[in-house]
């Protein structure tokens, strides 16, 4: 028996829209064409290449980027593809690791050599350029896997691996601003709200108009104020992070910034930003984006999260319901993060 013997995919039966289907191989949920629902598939066992680990997936959290890829708002680089880039997996020798969005970099370009591997032009991203975690088995480059702290369950660890990380990187980009606005209070914001409050910042949470449920959720996680994104907070903000993919929020956030404040756009996709008067940018206000993550971001956040401690609000879905998890994210039907359990 090969070393893969215990790692083989299962023979499984599933029921899809009332039809009983037998599949043989690794159970996976696949995006065949953008704009169409994810569908169950049976894939051959993945074979790890040089430097890669074979992983049995224990949990994979859903990210808004999965939704954008599913809906065609960002371009797919390979089809079919297994989405999912917040993976908690077990190696063949029993180590639990986390696999983030940053799947591989060349390590030698000007960005990699200057501590900015998140900007590597040859970077490979998990669940886009290589198959991700909405499957029983996957492979990942070992250099880009994180050791996970004890005491964080699989479900609690998975959302940190993109939502937490991009939120953490965005938070670092806000400098030491005391009064922090969070626009769009989903997976990333609900984690970073807790980190920011732990660091002694004052958090102001902005949601869709009238979304009392999410505003209450934000207050329960340490936000001192929560309100509609169109309303002005009770005082000026030193920084704002925009997690929602809504370009109108950029000039809205700029309007409530104090002098020298920064608006950080944390998403991979956003609708166009409307024009605004230069006076709103004047006095050293700035707008910037954050992209991807570095392994240093991951090491810092994974050390910090248990100290806060960051408590993830998680809704779990079985693998076969991954499409439902993405639909529920689109519709805002859960608080926090959806996590798929194969
Ligand atoms: Zn590079
Ligand atoms: Zn992501």
User: Tens digit of pLDDT per residue, the chain (342 long)?
Assistant: 334 445 655 554 454 555 555 557 999 999 999 999 999 999 999 999 999 999 999 999 999 999 999 999 999 999 999 999 999 999 999 999 999 999 999 999 999 999 999 999 999 999 999 999 999 999 999 999 999 998 899 999 999 999 999 999 999 999 999 999 999 999 999 999 999 999 999 999 999 999 999 999 999 999 999 999 999 999 999 999 999 999 999 999 999 999 999 999 999 999 999 999 999 999 999 999 999 999 999 999 999 999 999 999 999 999 999 999 999 999 999 999 999 999
How many angstroms does the Cα of residue 119 sit away from the middle of ligand 1?
Answer: 7
**Three-state secondary structure call for residue 269:** coil
pLDDT of residue 1: 35
Tokens of 78: 């390979």
Start-to-end C-alpha separation, the chain: 25
How many angstroms does the Cα of residue 322 sit away from the middle of ligand 2?
Answer: 15
How many angstroms does the Cα of residue 66 sit away from the middle of ligand 2?
Answer: 7
Q: What phi, psi does 81 have (nearest 5°)?
A: -140, 145
List, as one string, the DSSP characters of 287-324: EEE--S--HHHHHHHHHHTTTTT----EEEEEGGGHHH
CA distances from 147 to 94, 154, 182 (A): 12, 12, 29
How many angstroms does the Cα of residue 255 sit away from the middle of ligand 1?
Answer: 37
Which ligand minimizes its atom distance to the CA of 66?
2
How many angstroms does the Cα of residue 332 sit away from the middle of ligand 2?
Answer: 17
CA distances from 283 to 92, 170, 240, 273, 287 (A): 56, 22, 16, 20, 13
How many angstroms does the Cα of residue 98 sit away from the middle of ligand 2?
Answer: 13
How many angstroms does the Cα of residue 292 sit away from the middle of ligand 1?
Answer: 13
How many angstroms does the Cα of residue 178 sit away from the middle of ligand 2?
Answer: 26
Which ligand minimizes its atom distance to the CA of 67?
2
Q: Please check whether residue 101 is in contact with residue 120, taking contact to mean a CB–CB distance below 8 angstroms.
A: no
Q: What phi, psi does 135 have (nearest 5°)?
A: -165, 165
pLDDT of residue 151: 87
pLDDT of residue 206: 98
Which ligand minimizes its atom distance to the CA of 160?
2
How many angstroms does the Cα of residue 173 sit away from the middle of ligand 1?
Answer: 21
pLDDT of residue 10: 54
How many angstroms does the Cα of residue 148 sit away from the middle of ligand 2?
Answer: 18
How many angstroms does the Cα of residue 245 sit away from the middle of ligand 2?
Answer: 13
Which ligand minimizes its atom distance to the CA of 105?
1
Cis amide bond preceding 80, omega within 30: yes
How many angstroms does the Cα of residue 293 sit away from the middle of ligand 2?
Answer: 10
How many angstroms does the Cα of residue 71 sit away from the middle of ligand 2?
Answer: 15
List, as one string, the DSSP characters of 115-172: T-GGG-TT-EEBTTTB--SSBSEEEEEGGGPEE--TT--HHHHGGGGTHHHHHHHHHH
Distance CA 257, CA 266 (A): 17
How many angstroms does the Cα of residue 160 sit away from the middle of ligand 2?
Answer: 10
Nearest Cα neighbor of 230 from 263, 257, 252, 246 is 252
pLDDT of residue 9: 53
Which ligand minimizes its atom distance to the CA of 294?
1
Domains of the chain, each with CATH number or no CATH = 5-159+313-341 (3.90.180.10), 164-289 (3.40.50.720)
Q: Please check whether residue 19 is in contact with residue 28, taking contact to mean a CB–CB distance below 8 angstroms.
A: no
């Amino acid at each position: 028996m090969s070393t893969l013997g215990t790692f083989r995919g299962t023979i499984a039966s599933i029921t899809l829209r009332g039809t009983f289907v037998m599949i043989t191989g690794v159970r996976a949920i696949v995006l065949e064409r953008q704009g169409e629902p994810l569908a169950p598939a049976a894939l051959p066992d993945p074979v790890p290449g040089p430097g890669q680990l074979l992983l049995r997936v224990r949990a994979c959290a859903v990210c808004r980027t999965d939704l954008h890829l599913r809906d065609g708002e960002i371009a797919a680089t390979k089809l079919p593809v297994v989405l999912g880039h917040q993976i908690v997996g077990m190696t063949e020798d029993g180590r639990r690791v986390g696999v983030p969005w940053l799947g591989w970099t060349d390590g030698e370009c000007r960005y990699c050599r200057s501590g900015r591997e998140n900007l590597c032009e040859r970077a490979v991203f998990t669940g886009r350029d290589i198959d991700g975690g909405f499957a029983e088995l996957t492979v990942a480059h070992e250099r880009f896997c994180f050791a996970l702290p004890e005491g964080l369950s699989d479900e609690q660890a998975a959302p940190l691996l993109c939502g937490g990380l991009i939120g953490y990187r965005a938070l670092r980009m806000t400098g030491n601003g005391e009064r922090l606005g969070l626009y769009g209070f989903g997976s990333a914001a609900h984690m970073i709200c807790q980190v920011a409050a732990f660091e002694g910042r004052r958090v102001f949470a902005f949601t869709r108009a009238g979304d009392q449920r999410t505003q209450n959720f934000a207050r329960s996680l340490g936000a001192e104020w929560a309100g509609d994104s169109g309303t002005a907070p009770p005082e000026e903000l030193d920084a704002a992070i925009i997690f929602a993919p809504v370009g109108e929020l950029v000039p809205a956030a700029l309007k409530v910034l104090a002098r020298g404040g920064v608006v950080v756009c944390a998403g991979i996709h956003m609708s166009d930003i409307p024009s605004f008067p230069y006076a709103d940018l004047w006095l050293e206000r700035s707008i910037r984006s954050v992209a991807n993550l570095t392994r240093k971001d991951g090491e810092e956040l994974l050390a910090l999260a248990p100290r806060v401690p960051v408590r993830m609000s998680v809704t779990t879905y079985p693998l076969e319901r991954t499409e439902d998890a993405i639909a529920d994210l689109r519709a805002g039907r859960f608080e926090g993060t959806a996590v798929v359990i194969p």
